[in-house]
Amino acid sequence: MASGTELTPTSYINHHLTYLTTQVGEGSFWVLHVDTLITSVILGVMSLGFIWLVVRKATPGVPSKKQAFVELAVEFIDNEVKNTFHGNRHVLVAPMALTIFMWVLMMNAMDILPIDIMAWILEQGLGLHTWKIVPTTDVNTTFALALSVWFLMLFFNVKVKGIKGWMHELFCTPFGSNPLLWVLNLLFNFIEYVSKPLSHSLRLFGNIYAGEIIFLLLGMWAATGVSGTIFGSILGAGWAIFHILIVTLQAFIFMMLTVVYMSMAHESH
């Protein structure tokens, strides 16, 4: 809890939605959300590091339980990629899908941790008054991922089809190669290329952010008394259980969209 200030619903929610920031340069852009960055890096290192530790000792013989678990996850992702992407997926796309799925899943899963207890632990243990523990509720994270994928998509469009091939695609699809349709095609493609990263990133952000807000609202119920606390807890537990689905599903959707975009960049219409 933010100490010193009076506890109102507004201050409670505001407190939980405040980033720990640091200024790295002049201007409003040069602000860094330290909590988002550090939490996400820790989660990435933890999840990928775990997989790496298991994989380092991977044996083609009878796998250990940990290896079997990792293989299950990896083969699941590999299968999804194989069904969608028809190039050589082992060079980039499949490992990228694995990275995205594991990382986003871990970041989303932070949402399930009880928000006030985590805030209390961070404040008592590390002296951090504000620390957002769910990196995917930061639109910067989702945009960073979506834009990285977007740039990779542009790169592979040019690399696979060549500048000429890509331009041809921009001007001549989806309606046809008639010069009269060029403007319409280009406009259509432009909208598609703009909407891709927007829908990609905002879908994830919106789902997880909304989930967090609902947890906050349920947490606020505790302020109304004992019955409010009990109902808030029950509903909070229910929402958390439901959230397991959302967390996994959103990570999966994000991964699948990435694979689909990469696949579209590799194949001409």
Partner 1 sequence: MNINFTLISQAIAFSVFIWFTVKFVWPPLLRAIEERQKTIADGLAAGERGRHELELASQRSSDVLKEAKQRASEIILQAEKRGTEIIEEAKRTAKEEGDRIVAGAKADVEHEMFSAKEVLRQHAAQLAVAGAAKILRREVDAKVHADILASIEEDLK
Provide the annotated active-site residues: 199, 203, 207
Q: Which position among 20, 81, 94, 259 is part of the footprint of partner 1 (CB under 8 A)?
A: 94
Q: Is 74 one of the binding residues for partner 1 (CB under 8 A)?
A: yes
Distance CA 254, CA 246 (A): 12
Q: Given candidates 81, 138, 218, 262, which one binds partner 1 under the rule CB under 8 A?
A: 138
Our finding on whether 216 is near partner 1 (CB under 8 A) is no
Q: How far is CA 77 from the centre of its chain?
A: 16
**From 8-16, 63-71, 113-121, 232-240, span contacting partner 1 (CB under 8 A):** 63-71
- CA 98 to chain centroid, in Å, comes to 13
Burial of 106 (0-12, 13-18, 19+ CB in 10 A): buried
Q: Determine which residue in the list 7, 8, 14, 58 makes contact with partner 1, applying CB under 8 A.
A: 58
Q: Considering beta carbons, is residue 32 or 160 the nearer one to partner 1?
A: 32
Shorter beta-carbon distance to partner 1: residue 29 or 164: 29
Of 27-35, 114-122, 214-222, 226-234: span binding partner 1 (CB under 8 A): 27-35
DSSP letter (8 states) at residue 124 = H
Helix (H) or strand (E) holding 25: none
Contact between 75 and partner 1 by CB under 8 A: the answer reads yes
Candidates 51, 172, 251, 255: give the one binding partner 1 (CB under 8 A): 51
CA proximity to 52, closest of 77, 74, 81: 74
Tokens of 23: 């200024």
- What token pair was written down for 101? 């799925």
Is 41 one of the binding residues for partner 1 (CB under 8 A)?
yes
Question: Is 85:93 a contact under the CB 8 Å cutoff?
Answer: yes
- Find the binder of partner 1 among 13, 112, 144, 160 (CB under 8 A): 144
Please give the torsion angle defined by the CA atoms of residues 259, 261, 265 and 269, in that order, rounded to the nearest 10 degrees.
110
Encoding tokens for residue 203? 């879908």
Q: Which tokens is 227 given?
A: 């019955």
> Which stretches of the chain bind partner 1, using CB under 8 A?
24-25, 28-33, 36-37, 40-41, 44, 48, 51-52, 55-56, 58-61, 63, 67, 70-71, 74-75, 90-92, 94-96, 98-99, 103, 135, 138-141, 143-145, 147-148
